[in-house]
Amino acid sequence: MSSGNPRLRRYNRFEPALENYFNYFTEIEEHFQRARGTGLFLLSTLDWALIETWKEANVPLEAVLRGIDRAFEKWHARPRKGRLVNSVAFCAQEVMAAAQEQSPAPAQRERAASEAPFAPPQLAAALAEHAGAVRPRFPEIAASLDELRQAAETGLSMDLEELERRLTVLEEKMIAGLVAACSEERLLAIRRDLDLALQPYRRKMTAEQITMLEKQFLRNKVLESAGLPRLSLFHW
């Protein structure tokens, strides 16, 4: 698995069962690969950032998969297809149309009584690994991760929603520090990369989508450049 493609289990807001908590990204990736029909195809940083904007905008997984199918159906119906579809961004319009058709998910997610997706030893091991990775550059964040690890080591089940909130705060602090340390030239280069990647798909997206995508793209790029992990449970 390449470092630029965090294809790990992700939290799915749109499935009530806890065992489906972490599959949003992998379901979309695998569905896009099947729809494309060309075997293994690694998603780009732009693709991961776009999927993350859908997740944060509460776009249901079913709507994303339906939108991908519709986009490829229209592509196959073209008399002259041109190049292969090389980005999830090609499906953006159809995904948002499918999301608008689908009724909103319930406001409250039912907590399942099934086995939690992460046992305390798994959480402790992951937290220890992440603390070690960030400690050289962000010792205070590493210390906070150590505290969470110690809580997991007690063997008691943890509130994953509260844990995710704390990890999100720590990740935001880390990214803010990385962006502040970036040179103007580096930030401009990231912006050029995004503009180039978005050029074929910009007309398929709203201004709000593009703004969210820019944020996620910058986040992923600075972490990738620094060799640091995402702290969110979505990426474990």
- Per residue in 109-162, pLDDT (tens digit) is 343 333 455 678 888 999 999 999 999 999 999 999 999 999 999 877 677 878
The answer to whether 99 and 59 are in contact (CB under 8 A) is: yes
Q: Which of 144, 149, 168 is nearest to 230 (CA)?
A: 168
Q: In this structure, what token pair is assigned to residue 195?
A: 């503009």
Same domain, 173 and 226: yes
**Whole-number pLDDT of residue 81:** 64
Same domain, 158 and 230: yes
The answer to whether 102 and 60 are in contact (CB under 8 A) is: yes
Same domain, 90 and 168: no
Per the domain annotation, does 10 fall within a domain? no
Q: In this structure, what token pair is assigned to residue 73?
A: 């159906």
Number of domains comprising the chain? 2
Per the domain annotation, does 107 fall within a domain? no
CB neighbours (10 Å) of residue 159? Answer: 8
Same domain, 150 and 231: yes
**Whole-number pLDDT of residue 142:** 97
Per the domain annotation, does 90 fall within a domain? yes
Q: In this structure, what token pair is assigned to residue 84?
A: 């292969």
Q: What percent of the chain stands above pLDDT 70?
A: 80
Residue 86, SS3? coil
CA distances in angstroms from 173 to 21, 114, 139, 142, 197, listed in the order given: 25, 33, 12, 12, 27
Highest average pLDDT, of 26-40, 117-131, 175-189, comes from 175-189
**Of 101, 132, 149, which marks where a domain is finished?**
101
**Of 72, 101, 130, which marks where a domain is finished?**
101
Same domain, 46 and 142: no
Same domain, 147 and 226: yes
Same domain, 220 and 132: yes
Same domain, 26 and 84: yes
Averaged pLDDT, 206-215: 82
Q: What are phi and psi of 88, to 5 degrees?
A: -60, -25
Which domain range does residue 173 map to?
120-235
**Cα distance between residue 92 and residue 67, in whole Å:** 8
The answer to whether 188 and 221 are in contact (CB under 8 A) is: no
Per the domain annotation, does 111 fall within a domain? no
Per the domain annotation, does 3 fall within a domain? no
**Cα distance between residue 23 and residue 41, in whole Å:** 18
Query: Worst-scoring range by mean pLDDT, 70-84, 93-107, 191-205?
Result: 93-107
**Whole-number pLDDT of residue 103:** 56
Per the domain annotation, does 139 fall within a domain? yes
**Cα distance between residue 121 and residue 155, in whole Å:** 7
**Cα distance between residue 236 and residue 50, in whole Å:** 19
Residue 10, SS3? strand
Same domain, 81 and 136: no
The answer to whether residue 189 scores a pLDDT higher than 80 is yes
pTM for the model stands at 0.61
**Cα distance between residue 17 and residue 11, in whole Å:** 11
Q: In this structure, what token pair is assigned to residue 34?
A: 């099947």
The answer to whether 92 and 204 are in contact (CB under 8 A) is: yes
**Cα distance between residue 11 and residue 182, in whole Å:** 30
Same domain, 142 and 231: yes
The answer to whether residue 228 scores a pLDDT higher than 60 is yes
**Whole-number pLDDT of residue 117:** 58
Per the domain annotation, does 183 fall within a domain? yes
**Of 71, 101, 131, which marks where a domain is finished?**
101
Mean per-residue pLDDT over the chain, rounded: 80
Same domain, 64 and 129: no
Q: Considering only CA atoms, give the Rg of the chain.
A: 19
Per the domain annotation, does 82 fall within a domain? yes
**Cα distance between residue 2 and residue 193, in whole Å:** 19
Same domain, 145 and 218: yes
